[in-house]
Amino acid sequence: MDFETFEPAYEAVLADFGFDRAGDERARDVLADLSPKLSLAAFEGVLSGRDVAVVAPGPSLDADLDAVARVADDPDGAVLAVSSAAPVLREHDVAVDGYVTDLDAAPELAPALTREGVPSAVHAHGDNVPAVREVVPECDREHVLGTTQAAPRPDAGVVNVGGFTDGDRAAFLADHVGARSLSFPGWDLDDDAVDPMKARKLAWARRLLAWLERDRRARLGTDERFAVLDGHRDDVDLSFAEP
């Protein structure tokens, strides 16, 4: 998905949360100045044409580890780790093909994974500039793709392929580079133990995944349905995506 298509959703997120677009743009420019070197082609190389498990760090991850391991062991599978799901997977010797983070959790993982050659999408937004300044210089920037919620700067290694939270942004990234199918182990969109802000973000993740599911079905001509959305489709508001 390109930014022009995604922008109405971004504007709806800004309005809902009261976020500052200028703050996102400043964060994007800080990240750009740190010279991420990776292109989307690197993620295409590990995800395109594969059945991608977008693995989140929710309470259900432990129960889903065997399923993730099967994806990792399948030549047609790939594992895209979201935020602090990565250390859990590594502790259980599950190979990670790609990583998505805004550095809010387990920030030490980004330098470690990039030095191992794992393509890592590092996100900059208005609230994480100090982490971006501290962590990105420690990474092997040959393996860092910069992402933003604002207008992209592809000339400076910062892209926007859609998504808001780390998890749904990972799903949009996998879709953008040609994933054959998407699954969502470790996702708990109904987690009632989270604080109110996190609950609102999970609600947006649900809405954006529903949009992505609908878009993939129309664009790819498939009957793919994301199991993580079962029981939610009838009450998901997609008015932000209407013409």
The mean pLDDT of 6-21, rounded to a whole number, is 96
The mean pLDDT of 168-179, rounded to a whole number, is 98
* Full DSSP string of 3-71: HHHHHHHHHHHHHHHT--HHHHHHHHHHHHHT-----HHHHHHHHTTSEEEEE--STTHHHHHHHHHHH
Q: Is the pLDDT of residue 223 over 80?
A: yes
Could you tell me which residues come within 8 angstroms of residue 222 by beta carbon, excluding any fewer than 6 positions away? 216
Can you give the pLDDT at residue 120? 98
Can you give the pLDDT at residue 23? 97
Can you give the pLDDT at residue 243? 73
What is d(CA 112, CA 235) in angstroms, rounded to the nearest whole number? Answer: 40
Alpha-helical regions (H) of the chain? 3-17, 21-33, 40-47, 61-73, 85-91, 109-115, 129-135, 166-176, 196-220
For the stretch 116-154, pLDDT in tens is 999 999 999 999 999 999 999 999 999 999 999 999 999
